[in-house]
Structure 1
């Protein structure tokens, strides 16, 4: 953190991507670096910058980094930003369970995103309810239904509903 602050003080660009294409804010989001995200944003980092179509909020949600999600949402990150593949931060939060994020953490991410205005019926490729059902995320399914997810929206890719 001290090194980052020093480099920014010496003129480092908070929006310059690494050779991999990740921007510093993506890195902070993926690794749960709340204070680094806050510092980068205070120095002009772009909140909805994309890497392979994903914003830092997509990364934070997909890796279950609740603290960074809060920082990003405080700075008006778009909870409904759609990636090139059709994912939103909400769908990334659910997909994260397939990579080892516990359902309880995913549910916290989902709740945070819904409170920030995420669309529970977004159907860019598949709805959040379809994803939660596919992964057997019972608590997430219950919550999504409670906040208005429609179980009858057809999954665009396979033309199925959440009950299949």
Structure 2
């Protein structure tokens, strides 16, 4: 083969962009009313997000570029996608404008959480609940939305939004 080979330091970014790809698909599937598939795509984003950092550390190619790219992708996959999905599935019908504001607050708190994470460089713990957990948890809840009371969803969004920007210390697992 005469094509150029991928550089080793680019491999983690492939997983990071996979995260974004699945987050983007989640938004598209939400727009098409395929809510379980959209939730599944968010969960695939969780898988991709868990792999990019592990691969970067294993290959010793961690970089500031990778950290920034990861945060940009995470805000889509775990902030915007679950917020839009939750709004479309439940909040629009039950809360209207207020549901839209709550969903937007969730996405915005996720963005703030990621920006704070990028400048603090804390290695022993997370400050606030990671957006990956918050978005993944909302996707899991959506998978069971028909068997749960609708009020759980705005409460979960509000609590998780607060926890993302809180100063609670969350241990880093699996490092």
The structure in which a higher percent of residues are helix is 2
TM-score between the two structures when normalised by the length of structure 2: 0.28
TM-score between the two structures when normalised by the length of structure 1: 0.29
